[in-house]
Amino acid sequence: MAPPPLLRAVIMGPPGSGKGTISARIIKHFGLKHLSSGDLLRDNMQRKTEVGILAKSYIDQGRLIPDDIMTRLMLNELKGLDRYNWLLDGFPRTVAQAEALDKECQIDTVIDLDVPFETIKCRLTARWIHPTSGRVYNLEFSPPKVQGIDDITGEPLVQRDDDKPETVTKRLQAYDAQTKPVLEYYREKGLLKSFSGTETNKIWPHIYTFLQTKLPDVSQKDAATPR
């Protein structure tokens, strides 16, 4: 009997949409290899590879990393995953990257987290941290006992630049401008599956049900044998 075809999936969603949480659950339940462009970039910059040094020079200037550099980085990594089901996260970010990926492999499905920008703004701007320990508070879900003060040390909390309202707005606008055409590209190919909602825990069961039609749940001992 022929083995089931391998799944080639992409997950997309704006910063703060719960992509990290959802990706972790997909990996746990369905055993996909997770390839995050952000993780891969950080690793290459740390190891000072040729691509890492090049990418860092753009980041240091506050410029976007060109499509050809990102594509080279990701496609090179994918060569080692040709025998696995995988999930791409953070790539492709532009139509040019999506077209380059298409030349190398056939994408089966694109999971789009469609979370309202207002929800994301509330979520990210409510986050404050204690810089010394890295403790994170959320004014909505897990606020400090005293506003603006760390529970343990009594030291003041700060808001990361990334979480300040004006920065969050800019990040969301940039995502919208850059990534909407990519969503459209996959929608036209019939590969886009959007999941709308304001809470990760309510979106997840729908994604889980959808992926069960493609792969067995490997996190359960009595997982169904793939047919």
Known catalytic residues are 19, 93, 127, 160, 171
Q: Determine if residue 165 is labeled as part of a ligand binding site.
A: no
| Measured CA angle at 103 (ends 97, 105), to 5 deg | 95
Q: Determine if residue 144 is labeled as part of a ligand binding site.
A: no
Q: Determine if residue 91 is labeled as part of a ligand binding site.
A: yes
What tokens were used for 76?
A: 């090179």
Q: What single-letter DSSP state applies at residue 101? A: H
| Rounded CA separation 115/11 (Å) | 13
Return the closest-CA partner of residue 4 out of 83, 78, 77.
Answer: 83
Q: Determine if residue 21 is labeled as part of a ligand binding site.
A: yes
Q: Determine if residue 36 is labeled as part of a ligand binding site.
A: no
Q: Determine if residue 52 is labeled as part of a ligand binding site.
A: no
Q: Helix (H, G, I), strand (E, B), or coil: what is residue 225?
A: coil
Rounded to the nearest 10 degrees, how much is the dihedral formed by the CA atoms of 101, 94, 26, 52? Answer: 80
Q: Determine if residue 63 is labeled as part of a ligand binding site.
A: yes
| Rounded CA separation 99/15 (Å) | 23
Which amino acid is present at 149? I
Q: Determine if residue 227 is labeled as part of a ligand binding site.
A: no
Q: Helix (H, G, I), strand (E, B), or coil: what is residue 56?
A: helix
Q: Helix (H, G, I), strand (E, B), or coil: what is residue 22?
A: helix
Q: Determine if residue 19 is labeled as part of a ligand binding site.
A: yes
Q: Determine if residue 125 is labeled as part of a ligand binding site.
A: no
What tokens were used for 159?
A: 């808001």
Q: Determine if residue 92 is labeled as part of a ligand binding site.
A: yes
Binding-site residues from annotation for AMP:
37, 42, 63-65, 90-93, 97, 160, 171
Q: Which residues are annotated as a binding site?
A: 16-21, 37, 42, 63-65, 90-93, 97, 127, 136-137, 160, 171, 200
Binding site residue list for GTP:
16-21, 127, 136-137, 200
